[in-house]
Chain A
Amino acid sequence: MTGSSPATPLVELRDISIAFGGVKAVDHVTVDLYPGEVVGLLGHNGAGKSTLIKCLSGAYQKDAGQIFVNGEEVEINNPRDARRHNIETIYQTLALADNLDASANLFLGRELTTPFGFVDDSRMEAETRRIMGRLNPNFQKFASPVSALSGGQRQSVAIARAVYFNAKILIMDEPTAALGPQETQMVAELIDELKRQGLGIFLIDHDIHQVKVLCDRAAVMKNGKLVGVVKVDEVTEDDLLGMIILGKKPDQLAA
């Protein structure tokens, strides 16, 4: 991107590289994200989208490159660092501890405590009931371990966890992969609402149609390299498909 927008990007991943034993999983990739924007990350399995995004969420450490949040360079070495910069991630695996209940998962790593330093289960459950009442009013299983929940219910716990802590930057790794049509619709509405609130969202998805509907821009990756970043309104689904498969920008944009 050549800085066509005057505002500072919420996040800029500049020239990121990471290799695993000689395989360049991400090779000098630069992507940015503005407030109130949804950027889709597209590519085949193994194209490097999840790896790239894990450098931002703190799950992996980049080998080279810089990360800027609100124009300032930041070091993200672990998930705690990412959370400190209000970066929240919804992982494809959901990353829930199956043996704990919804509120323990929602507050995992950030428990509310009493003045004596004990975890305040009642207050956490009350907060969980409140946010779930907004996200998924049918959710009732507050006392059961999350292993007893359905796929959609588990997903809503993972989403609640990302949304509850005033995230500024949200990373969603295939948030609708395990969901039925109704729940997918719920996630789509949520993304729209969060956009209106000014969050920036990275959305990793396989479904080109969905990316066209939900995203403002799409970044396409192939073999660890960035093929290009396009505004989704300026391209067709076939153009996107071409970028994913052939690794080439469509002719009308490749000027």
Chain B
Amino acid sequence: MTITAHAPAAPAKKSLFDTLEIDTRLLGMIGAFVFLCLAFDFATDGRFLTPRNIFNLTIQTVSVAIMATGMVFVIVTRHIDLSVGSLLATCSAIMAVTQTSILPDMLDLGIGHPLIAPITIVVGLIAGTLIGAFQGFLVGYMLIPAFIVTLGGLLVWRNVAWYITNGQTIGPLDETFQLLGGINGTLGASASWVVGLIAVAATLWALFAARRRNIAHDFPVKPLWAEVAMGALFTAAILGFVATLNAYEIPAARLRRMFAARGEVLPEGFTAGYGIPISVLLLIIVAIAMTVIARKMRLGRYIFATGGNPDAAELSGINTRMLTVKVFALMGFLCALSAVVASARLTNHANDIGTLDELRVIAAAVIGGTALSGGIGTIYGAILGALIMQSLQSGMAMVGVDAPFQNIVVGAVLVAAVLIDILYRRRMGVRT
């Protein structure tokens, strides 16, 4: 092949970011996030960027971030889902009743039986998926606008949850179930390092495999130093994250209780870090799975094609109606997963769980660069968007901003983020 021979005179100089092939939009978001963190850290005299606060930030972000990844697909296909917060509540209510009453009493498993948590989670996930698929059916086959279906769903599922529980708070939830909530279930320092090293190995292998594939097909590759720099950057980020979570130490009183529960005595000078929370690991798995779907599977290809041009997708033989059902079913599944994390973190199911989450989730996806006109959006962007929203919220709370101002700022930031995005895309022209 003589591709290079045909190439128009290459621009003399490529910028550093072009060479590294980093998305400048992502870079802007990371920049904004870092600025936000540093500003809050300064304003709180260094209390914002402590291992403890970073740990809390990550576990508070998980629930919204999981749903935001699904919302990316929904918005990319030019739909919207306003019911996610209510759907989360219904799934949470179903799971709360399942694990505290149906399984232990009616099926006689007894409180604390090891099978309660897995059965409960499966029941919840099935419920969420079915409800999502039903809403997708109404949108895809009955052709009711998603806005209307899910606006109705917002009311319906919020109150189905209320009806299921009679409005009562149900708790405490199953002990094993609570492991998925965050602070009650962490990997510990050594297991966290193992996970971190596996992640590093997988990342480096992915970079290497991509390069080898490009060379095999004679495609242009970036210079070797750029690949090495990217690899180093990812490695540092992953290991830094693990080190930070490990640095948050379990309080001595809690350690003493943990040892006492095993009939041992806390040794003098013994310390242990929390490490990666299981819920965060769950989010990472969801993020990877959703990214693989988006980039490497037909489902994702069809989702983006449908968002870019629904008619073209239809004429290319894609069953766009079924696709809508699948996208909403996936959204429902992720709502149920978020319901597990959210209720486990609170250790109980309360009537107001997930209230206003639909707005947080949509905001996270949109701040993360998902275009409401469809066809454009990334999973990592949505997660970063969720992280920015959560940092803003808890940072302002730490600084002591009055509650009304907190919401005013969050709302203004959402609008400003979209404005910046529009201006950015306009400057880039059609090149998105």
For the complex, give the distance between the alpha carbons of A87 and B316 in Å. Answer: 12
Q: How far is the CB of B328 from chain A (nearest CB, A)?
A: 21
Contacts A104-B305, A111-B298 hold; do A95 and B312 have CB atoms under 8 A apart?
yes
Which residue on A lies nearest to B376, using beta carbons? A99
Alpha-carbon gap, A51 to B1, bound state (A): 42
Assembled-state Cα–Cα distance A129/B296 (Å): 20
Please encode chain B, from 301 to 314, with 1 for each CB lying within 8 Å of some chain A CB and 0 for all others.
Answer: 11011111101111
Q: How far is the CA of A206 from the CA of B143 in the complex (A)?
A: 35
> Known contacts A119-B296, A140-B6, A147-B430: does B301 contact A104 (CB below 8 Å)?
yes
State in angstroms the CA–CA spacing of A117 and B313 once bound together. 20
**A113 to B305 alpha-carbon distance, docked (Å):** 17
Q: Bits for A132-157, please: 1 = Cβ < 8 Å to B, else 0.
A: 01000110100011011000000000
A19 within 8 A of B: no
Name the residue among B292, B315, B432 with the largest chain A CB count within 10 angstroms.
B315
A78 interface hit (Cβ, 8 Å)? yes
- The reply on B29 being an interface residue by CB < 8 A is no
Partner of B315, one of A89, A110, A122, A133: A89
Q: Does chain B have a CB within 8 A of A109?
A: yes
Given contacts A122-B214, A126-B217, whether A91 and B309 have CB atoms under 8 Å apart is no
Question: Do B304 and A100 touch across chains, with their CB atoms under 8 A apart?
Answer: yes
Partner of B316 from the list A109, A125, A129, A133 (CB cut-off 8 Å) is A109
Residues of A within 8 Å of B315, CB to CB, are: 57, 59, 79, 89, 91, 95
Cα A124 to Cα B318 in complex, Å, equals 18
Min C-beta distance of B292 to chain A, whole Å: 8
A99/B216 in contact, CB under 8 A: no
Measured CA separation A99–B3 after assembly (Å): 24
- A137 vs B2: C-alpha distance when bound (angstroms): 11
Q: How extensive is the interface on chain B, given as a class? A: 35 or more
Residues of A contacting B307 in the complex (Cβ-Cβ under 8 angstroms): 99
Of A97, A137, A138, the residue contacting B305 (CB under 8 A) is A97
| Chain B neighbourhood of A104, CB < 8 A | 301, 305
**Given contacts A99-B304, A138-B6, are A122 and B312 in contact (CB under 8 A)?**
no
Q: Which residues of A contact B308 (CB under 8 A)?
A: 97-100
Measured between alpha carbons, how far is A59 from B219 in the docked complex, in Å?
37
Closest CB in chain B relative to A122 CB, distance in Å: 5
By the criterion CB–CB under 8 Å, are B213 and A108 in contact? no
Would you call A97 and B430 a contact (CB within 8 A)? no
B262 at the A interface (CB under 8 A): no
Whole-angstrom distance between the alpha carbons of A78 and B292 in the complex? 29
Q: Which of B297-352 contact A (CB under 8 A)?
A: 297-298, 301-302, 304-309, 311-318
Give the Cβ gap from B426 to chain A, nearest Cβ, in Å: 14
A113 to chain B, nearest CB (A): 7
Residues 76-134 (chain A) with a chain B CB within 8 angstroms: 78-80, 83, 89, 91, 93-100, 104-105, 108-111, 113, 117-119, 122-123, 125-126, 129, 133
- Cα of A29 to Cα of B308 in the assembled complex, Å: 35
Closest to B218 in A: A126
Q: A97-B309, A113-B298 are in contact. Are A78 and B317 (CB under 8 A)?
A: yes
Q: Does B277 contact A (CB under 8 A)?
A: no
**Chain A residues positioned under 8 Å from B314 (CB to CB):** 59, 79
Q: What residues of chain B lie closer than 8 Å to A105, measured between beta carbons?
A: 305, 312
Taking the nearest CB of chain B, how far is it from the CB of A249, in angstroms?
Answer: 34
Contact check, B309 vs A96: say whether CB atoms are below 8 A apart.
yes
| Contact indicator B309/A95 (Cβ below 8 Å) | yes
Contact B219 A97, beta carbon cutoff 8 Å: no
Q: A83-B317, A95-B316, A140-B6 are in contact. Are A100 and B305 (CB under 8 A)?
A: yes
**Across-interface contacts of A123 in B (CB, < 8 A):** 217
Which of A89, A94, A97 has most B Cβ within 10 Å?
A: A97
Which chain A residue shows the least CB distance to B377?
Answer: A99
Question: With the chains together, A108 CA to B1 CA distance in Å?
Answer: 25
Residues of A within 8 A of B218 (CB): 126
B254 within 8 A of A: no
Contacts of B14 in A (CB 8 A): none
Q: Judge whether B318 and A109 touch: CB under 8 Å.
A: yes
Query: CB-nearest residue of chain B relative to A107?
Result: B301
CA distance A148 to B428 in the complex (A): 11
- B297 to A108, Cβ gap below 8 A? no
Nearest CB in chain B to that of A127: its residue = B217
Bound complex: CA A105 to CA B302 (Å) = 10
Q: A interface vs B, CB < 8 Å?
A: 57, 59, 78-80, 83, 89, 91, 93-100, 104-105, 108-111, 113, 117-119, 122-123, 125-126, 129, 133, 137-138, 140, 144-145, 147-148
Can you list 29 A-B contacts (CB < 8 A)?
Answer: A57-B315, A59-B314, A59-B315, A83-B317, A89-B315, A95-B315, A96-B309, A97-B308, A97-B313, A100-B301, A105-B312, A108-B305, A108-B312, A109-B316, A109-B318, A113-B298, A117-B297, A119-B296, A119-B297, A119-B301, A122-B213, A122-B216, A122-B219, A125-B219, A129-B1, A133-B1, A137-B6, A144-B431, A148-B430
Q: Which 4 pairs across A and B sit closest by C-beta, in order of nearness?
A: A99-B308, A97-B308, A109-B316, A99-B375
